[in-house]
Amino acid sequence: MMDCQMMKTLLAIVLMICCTIVGAAESPNFIIVYVDDLGWADTSVPMMLSDPESKSDFNQTPYLEKLAARGMTFSSAYAPAPTCTPSRKSIQFGKTPGRLGYTFVHDVLALQKKLSWKDEVSMADIIKAANPNYVTAHFGKGMSGDRMETIGYDITDEVDGNATNDNFHGEYDSIGNRKPLPPDNPKRMASLQKRSVAFIEKHGGKQPFFMMVSHYAVHVPHAARADLIEKYRSLPRGKYLQDEDYLPEEQIPEGRKISHWRLQYAAMLDEVDQGLGAIMLAVEKAGQTENTFIIFTSDNGGGLNPNGTLRGGKANLYEGGLRVPFVVAGPGVRQGAQCDVAINQWDLLPTLHDYSESDEALPEDLDGGSLRPVFEYGNAAKVERNVEGFVYHYPCYFAPPLTVIRLGDYKLMEHHLTGEQKLFNVATDYYEQQNLVEDLPQKAAELKAVMDKYLEEIDAEDVQDVYQARFAELDRFEKNAREQYKKRIERAGEEKRLIDEANNWLREQLERFDRNRKECRENMQGKMF
């Protein structure tokens, strides 16, 4: 006769299995494929049907084409920032980089304050609150600072080390040994594909899941498989290809090879697309296609210019630095549709909250709103948010310090220190050629009032504080360099070769710091671009 305790244990197991099965059947899965530095017009999917320049005539992304055919593309999808780290924080927490206090790469004030975002509510937290049966995973490039396992992710590929994921931009086996990755795993694309597919095979159809695949590609230094490079060498020449792109690899200068060699760039993106295809196939094999949202997008505008008809690119606040490819497919999403409603990646947290039917209250200070209405009804719908427009606070020292707002069809750009303004109607003039600030002063004033109110609300970083912190940092770097130089001279003794090496090293360091200071002063006093 089965004793009471054993019966209770068996009952608990049965209930857990039943809950898991029910949860898997009722709760949708979510997959976000997050590419690094991919431009608005870099894929073979047109982001704007009326603009033939909104897709590449050379790069091939057939699996993204398949995803778009059964889903929706967005012509006005925005990244949270024109550089990666603030975007990667913003997408996790549904708030602007300005509100989170980390507005650009190497934000000196945030680093000085040693900020942490562990107490923020993340996408993984929202999913778990909706249904504790959800399993959450993050593979690939993190958000710097806090590790992904500390913000709600059950499974990550993080390892012990000084940096999230233990490497910089996917070029090393690890920071510690600086061992290059094998030629069949450039930018960790193959290993990311393997991990993501294995995760789906393990959990798909068994329990609901949320997986974020965060690529190191297509960030510099570029790298790709040799066979894919040769594939693109044999294809018809694209508009932006140059004679230098077709030189034998050994004749291409290293600087061009890792940043501007378009054959390698296309090959690298091709493998990213293959990874997407493998994910789609794994979802299909798990019988979860009709129950899975797949979102494909980029963390900022393209690093390899030009970005189609868009002005600018990565690290600046023109549309080329902010608009990104965005394709979504899933249950209820309109198929084969293009939507022109302006959306932002900080909308994704409330979107997951909506679709997971969570009873958990959203944080009151979110900047995003659910995209479910536009996913289902396209241009006939709108996104409800707690704040007006998209505000980009960018008190940067390596680019002109600006704040930008897009509100409705208009976009206002203002230099923090010179007061220079530019106003564009980005619905019609999305290539930003006609500055309307003198023609529409009332519209500029209207947008500025909304922008200033928002900056006050979030207690935004002060540009003067940022620049003072940067100058202090450079002074500290110089002091450290001089101390290292003294030690090198002491170790050199009377050996001329070592003395010359130390002198040359110090000279290079001091010249670099002087260039950095000059760059800061020029950005403080100069025009936008």
| Structure letter (DSSP) for residue 26 | H
* pLDDT above 90: residue 21: no
Does the pLDDT of residue 15 top 50, yes or no? no
- 189/278 Cα distance (integer angstroms): 12
User: What average pLDDT score do residues 40-51 get?
Assistant: 98
What CA–CA distances, in Å, run from 371 to 35, 72, 382, 453?
20, 12, 8, 25
Quickly name the fold that domain 391-457 has: Arylsulfatase, C-terminal domain (3.30.1120)
Q: What mean pLDDT is predicted for residues 40-44?
A: 99
Domain segments of the chain as ranges: 27-387, 391-457, 463-525
Q: In the CATH scheme, what is the code of domain 27-387?
A: 3.40.720.10
Q: pLDDT above 70 covers what percent of the chain? A: 91
CB 78 within 8 A of CB 344: yes
pTM of the model: 0.92
- Name the pLDDT band for 178 (thresholds 50, 70, 90): low
Q: Which residue intervals of 39-83 are DSSP H helices?
A: 62-69
Residue 347 in this model has a pLDDT that exceeds 90: yes
Predicted confidence at residue 526, as pLDDT, reads 79
User: Where does the pLDDT of residue 26 fall: very low under 50, low under 70, confident under 90, or very high at 90 and above?
Assistant: confident
Per DSSP (E only), the strands in 199-345 are: 209-214, 292-298, 326-329, 337-339, 343-344
pLDDT digits (tens, 9 = 90+) for 484-525: 999 999 999 999 999 999 999 999 999 999 999 999 999 988
Instruction: Give the DSSP H or E segment for 276.
Output: helix 262-285
pLDDT at 465: 96
Q: Which two tokens stand for residue 294?
A: 């797949």
Helix/strand number for the chain, H first, E second:
16, 14
Q: How many other β-carbons are positioned within 10 Å of the β-carbon of residue 111?
A: 14
Q: Give tens-digit pLDDT for 399-413.
A: 999 999 999 999 999
Is 218's pLDDT higher than 50? yes
Do the strands 343-344 and 390-394 form a parallel or antiparallel pair, or are they unpaired? unpaired
Collapsed DSSP state (helix, strand, coil) of residue 98: helix
pLDDT tens track for 402-446: 999 999 999 999 999 999 999 999 999 999 999 999 999 999 999
CB 103 within 8 A of CB 395: yes
Distance of alpha carbon 372 from alpha carbon 350, whole angstroms: 9
Q: What is the pLDDT of residues 367-389, one digit of tens each?
A: 999 999 999 999 999 999 999 99
Q: Strand 155-156 relative to strand 209-214: parallel, antiparallel, unpaired?
A: unpaired
Q: Are strands 209-214 and 135-140 parallel, antiparallel or unpaired?
A: parallel
Q: Which of 140-144, 432-436, 462-466 has the lowest mean pLDDT?
A: 140-144
What average pLDDT does this structure show over 454-472? 97
Per-residue pLDDT at 172 = 62
Integer Cα distance of 30 and 288 in angstroms? 11
pLDDT given at position 214: 97
Sequence-distant (6+) residues with CB within 8 A of 209 are 29, 30, 134, 135, 136, 137, 199, 200, 203
Is residue 144 a contact partner of residue 85, using CB atoms and an 8 Å limit?
yes
pLDDT in tens, 47-84: 999 999 999 999 999 999 999 999 999 999 999 999 99
Residue 176 binned pLDDT confidence (cut-offs 50, 70, 90): low
